[in-house]
Structure 1
Amino acid sequence: MENENDGDPAQQGAGYDIVGSIATNVEDGFTMAAVGDLIVSRAVTKSQDSGFGAVVKVLRDADVTFGNLEVNIFDIRSFNGSPQAEYGGAYHLSLPEVGPDLKAMGFNIVGRANNHSLDWGVEGMRETSRVLDQNGIIHAGVGENLAQAGAARFFETARGRVALLSCASTFKPMARAGDPAGEAPGRPGLNALRLTQSIVVSPEMLENVRLISSVLPTDIPVPKDPNKVALAGTAYKVGDKVGYNFEPDARDIADILRNVRRGKQFSDFCIVTNHGHEPGNWSQEPPDYEQSFAHRLIDAGADAYIGHGPHQLRGIEIYKGRPIFYSLGNFFQDDLGTPSGAEMFDDYAKDPRVDTDAEVKVAEMAGYSDPVFWESVIAVSRFEQSQLAELRLYPIELGRLRRFANRGIPGLVATQQARAILDRLQTLSKPFGTQIAIENDVGVIRLGPTSP
């Protein structure tokens, strides 16, 4: 049963103060660089593109640099696993050289919990962990059981010890990690945040759904509820605005909050990252549960919340002096990894005896032609006196109009394109009360000593 005080350290009693305060505890000048999804298949630091070189400098200059690793890393020639029937929409695969290349770029921590974590099964998950460990990149979000997948992992910097926790609300059911139970062993996989989805409709719409439900035969008893109807496995309920409602699983929330407390107790700065596509990649707004979830994480000790998943930017909120990024979009969209599993050929009506992997991936990417999927920012947060003092947002573009073999690599942009990206981020952040200035093609959020 969930302890109702689990998410509120102030109600934990004096014991929490003894083992560690929830306050940020880093030396002056501490910086965190954060980006979104790393979909990269090859080493790219050898690129002569000056725009990418400028990107790398921003990443390397930070004390801690985070990205969401949305690929598996291994050599297909020696790989002992196989592509899974359940996969995240594409079989993201990277060459082993990506490990040292990410390190060379400046990435020192990465999230692993996402809908691609087990595209290549447990073997792919383990091999990716091996490559990251070999290259000294701290990673969290997957493990041999739920306790390992949910645990914080730690990175030492000159200005403080950083904890990272990673979870995913979008994942394939078979990818979810589990703990042992009696004689049953634990299950390898990712740290899941399960959501129950309902569709919110008007009272008149609900009556139409109820009418359809009443004439459909079913083996499952349908409870009589004046404000809710189940139809073909989907729940509909009455609300003020038509849309989607998500209720997070109370047990998952309790586990995550406890792991955040533990992570902060053993560190000076705690980052929590969540991968979710809800309510859909089409939405520029986060799902209805996420703001409350992010606030509870910060109340439990998180110093930053980093969201990713929908492949486009969403708004930024500053809560109790900590940054909340509801989505940082894509950082890489280099989709050259091969091979693809047979299921992906089937799903896009391709024949592996006739069509190539590239043709399959072009078909998969047809839904991402809008420029918003190819534009994002690098977010650099700077702390003074253990308080967020400034947040700088460097606009990037991923080469949408380049040929297939060259696109997907970020470069800093300026003038009109930079302004358009930052204007959009201003609009997306306004509902959260966040003001973003634009100075020399960079977005800037400044916080004074009395900022909330």
Structure 2
Amino acid sequence: MARAGLMRKKAVAGPQWTLTAAGDAIIGLRTRHLDRPEEPGFHDLCRLIRSVDVASVNLETNVFDMASFRGWPGAERGGSYLVAPPAALADLAHMGFHLFARGNNHACDWGIEGLQATARVLDGMGLPHAGCGDHLSAAGRAVYLDTAVGRVAMLSLTTTYPASHRAGAQRGDVAGRPGVNGVKVKRRLELDPATYKVLAAAQSAQGNPRLFETANLALAEGTETRIVEWLEPRDVDRVLREIRNAAAFADIVLVNGHTHEPANPVTRTPDWLVTFARACIDAGATAYLGHGPHQLRGMEVHAGRPIFYSLGNFVFHRDTTEPVPAEQYEVLDLPGDTSMPADYYAARAAKSATLNFADAAYYETLLPILRFAGTEVVGIDFHPVELSQALRAARRGTPRLADKATGERIVARFAELSRPFGCAIAWKGGLGRWQP
């Protein structure tokens, strides 16, 4: 017979509190008018968000009034030039979100002026945000929120970003560069000996024996052809120091991590991200809230604390953003001086399924409601959400609670993605459920 002490369930101590987290919010349209009983899918979703103690979201756009903006599009963009009116941000806050992550590949689409203008809008609305700053230290530092359940810290970072978007460190004699809290992914192309000899000779013939390395793909001889990725150790150490610092000043520490690697269509989580997210938990994070590839990836619970490798899209107003800079028309071989935004979106829709995010998975996600005792998660309810892919552009991309059939399919896909991490997620009572 098993001893009574072994049969007794482990006691969990600490204050009770709830958290919800959403993935990418690419906002552009007003939504507050939908928050009414006549629109139950949206209205009930808002009620869920407002019912929790802490709610976090990734703000994946710039926010400012284009009519008074004095900047210009950046030379590099995170895929497209995203911008939203301040009223759309106010509507996102009205849904119930408290904390806004900004460390992502679109933070500098409109240059440093757009980055700083967005910060002014957020500050003017009293909305805490992290992941961007006037130098690397500011971009990497946590933001704090005092709540009834304790003091909450949030850090935001991105492993996906154009090189010019990364914030630079300060020195006593040189100012830092404004930008995002970037954690660099380094890459090496390993080749079989024969192929390596040919390519190494080719780059040397160009007069630059490190040609591939300048594209962040250093050549190396190996036994097979493969791409090896890892995180820059100095960036990892810097982030972990910030987490430990935040844990000393807050009761709850959230880390928002934005990762597209290896590519948006890939649902498998890179091994280096698993290692990094677990290290964040070990350093003191209460939860790791991942997003980036615009669709769901799996989750796990490490040391009693949740890790979401991607929460997918939460708002996806990507088909109504105006204006569109000239460079973006050129991507689709359209004349930038005479084409209209509607021409750009029509051409993009016809280009390819990958460019158009045509798969339904990009328009389906989950809103997790996490219950904590202290810093240990004791249960999660997953509310399936769909983003109205079938509607016209003027209504497409706005989140609503999914119907039962769609919801069961979303939960089943998420459960399958989470199974390799030892997480068993069940469909019960119209929700996905996880229990320790």
Alignment TM-score, normalising by the size of structure 1: 0.87
- Matched residue SS, 1:65: strand
Among 119, 124, 131, the residue aligned to 1:129: 119
* 1:412 equivalent in alignment to 2:401: yes
For 1:425, the aligned partner's letter is F
**Aligned equivalent of 1:278:** 261
Is the Cα–Cα contact under 8 Å of residues 381 and 391 in structure 1 kept in the other structure? yes
**Aligned equivalent of 2:340:** 356
For 2:29, the aligned partner's letter is R
For 2:345, the aligned partner's letter is K
**Aligned equivalent of 2:88:** 98
- Matched residue SS, 2:228: strand
**Aligned equivalent of 2:6:** none
- Matched residue SS, 1:278: coil
* 1:168 equivalent in alignment to 2:158: yes
2: distance between equivalents of 1:192 and 1:318?
A: 25
1: distance between equivalents of 2:271 and 2:222?
A: 13
* 1:427 equivalent in alignment to 2:409: no
2: distance between equivalents of 1:437 and 1:38?
A: 27
**Aligned equivalent of 1:328:** 311
**Aligned equivalent of 2:208:** 220
Shift of 1:26: 6.0
Relative contact order (alpha carbons < 8 A, sep ≥ 6): 1 or 2 greater? 1
User: Structure 2 vs 1, CA of residues 34 and 234 (structure 1 numbering), >3 Å: closer, same or farther?
Assistant: same
**Aligned equivalent of 2:7:** none
Shift of 1:136: 2.2
Among 19, 22, 27, the residue aligned to 1:32: 19
**Per-residue CA shift, 1:32-59, capped at 9, x if unaligned?**
1011000011220212532111211111
**Per-residue CA shift, 1:137-183, capped at 9, x if unaligned?**
21000011111100000011111111000011001111111122242
Bigger mean CA offset, 376-385 vs 138-147: 376-385
Among 154, 165, 173, the residue aligned to 2:144: 154
Identical aligned pairs, as a percentage?
36
Bigger mean CA offset, 362-371 vs 248-257: 362-371
User: Structure 2 vs 1, CA of residues 25 and 269 (structure 1 numbering), >3 Å: closer, same or farther?
Assistant: farther
1: distance between equivalents of 2:224 and 2:43?
A: 46
Is the Cα–Cα contact under 8 Å of residues 292 and 310 in structure 2 kept in the other structure? yes
Is the Cα–Cα contact under 8 Å of residues 273 and 306 in structure 1 kept in the other structure? yes
**Per-residue CA shift, 1:177-213, capped at 9, x if unaligned?**
1122242111111111011123456x4xx53243343
**Aligned equivalent of 2:129:** 139
- After superposition, residues 168-247 of structure 1 pair within 5 angstroms as 168-199=158-189, 203=192, 206-216=193-203, 217-221=205-209, 234-236=217-219, 244-247=227-230
**Per-residue CA shift, 1:270-311, capped at 9, x if unaligned?**
001111110001100122210100111111000100111101
Among 281, 296, 302, the residue aligned to 1:313: 296
Is the Cα–Cα contact under 8 Å of residues 187 and 216 in structure 2 kept in the other structure? no
**Aligned equivalent of 1:45:** 32
**Aligned equivalent of 2:389:** 400
Shift of 1:94: 0.5
**Aligned equivalent of 1:303:** 286
Among 80, 101, 116, the residue aligned to 1:111: 101
**Per-residue CA shift, 1:79-102, capped at 9, x if unaligned?**
011111201111111011123212
* 1:346 equivalent in alignment to 2:336: no
- Matched residue SS, 1:395: strand
2: distance between equivalents of 1:353 and 1:49?
A: 40
User: Structure 2 vs 1, CA of residues 233 and 67 (structure 1 numbering), >3 Å: closer, same or farther?
Assistant: closer
Structure 1 alignment gaps of length 5 or more: 1-23, 224-228, 448-452
For 1:131, the aligned partner's letter is V
2: distance between equivalents of 1:240 and 1:215?
A: 20
Bigger mean CA offset, 282-291 vs 358-367: 358-367
- Matched residue SS, 2:86: coil
Structure 2 alignment gaps of length 5 or more: 1-11
- Matched residue SS, 1:90: coil
For 2:76, the aligned partner's letter is E
Alignment TM-score, normalising by the size of structure 2: 0.90
For 1:436, the aligned partner's letter is I
- Matched residue SS, 2:21: strand
User: Structure 2 vs 1, CA of residues 34 and 363 (structure 1 numbering), >3 Å: closer, same or farther?
Assistant: farther
* 1:77 equivalent in alignment to 2:67: yes
For 2:246, the aligned partner's letter is G
**Aligned equivalent of 2:363:** 374
Shift of 1:360: 1.8
1: distance between equivalents of 2:404 and 2:386?
A: 13
1: distance between equivalents of 2:223 and 2:53?
A: 45
User: Structure 2 vs 1, CA of residues 41 and 424 (structure 1 numbering), >3 Å: closer, same or farther?
Assistant: same
Aligned residues: 415
Shift of 1:27: 2.1
User: Structure 2 vs 1, CA of residues 241 and 45 (structure 1 numbering), >3 Å: closer, same or farther?
Assistant: farther
**Aligned equivalent of 2:77:** 87
Bigger mean CA offset, 52-61 vs 353-362: 353-362
Shift of 1:417: 1.2
User: Structure 2 vs 1, CA of residues 364 and 58 (structure 1 numbering), >3 Å: closer, same or farther?
Assistant: farther
2: distance between equivalents of 1:437 and 1:320?
A: 21
For 2:256, the aligned partner's letter is T
1: distance between equivalents of 2:225 and 2:434?
A: 33
User: Structure 2 vs 1, CA of residues 156 and 348 (structure 1 numbering), >3 Å: closer, same or farther?
Assistant: same
Is the Cα–Cα contact under 8 Å of residues 38 and 69 in structure 1 kept in the other structure? yes
2: distance between equivalents of 1:79 and 1:95?
A: 11
User: Structure 2 vs 1, CA of residues 243 and 31 (structure 1 numbering), >3 Å: closer, same or farther?
Assistant: farther
RMSD of the alignment, in Å? 2.2
User: Structure 2 vs 1, CA of residues 308 and 232 (structure 1 numbering), >3 Å: closer, same or farther?
Assistant: closer
For 2:401, the aligned partner's letter is L
- Matched residue SS, 2:171: coil
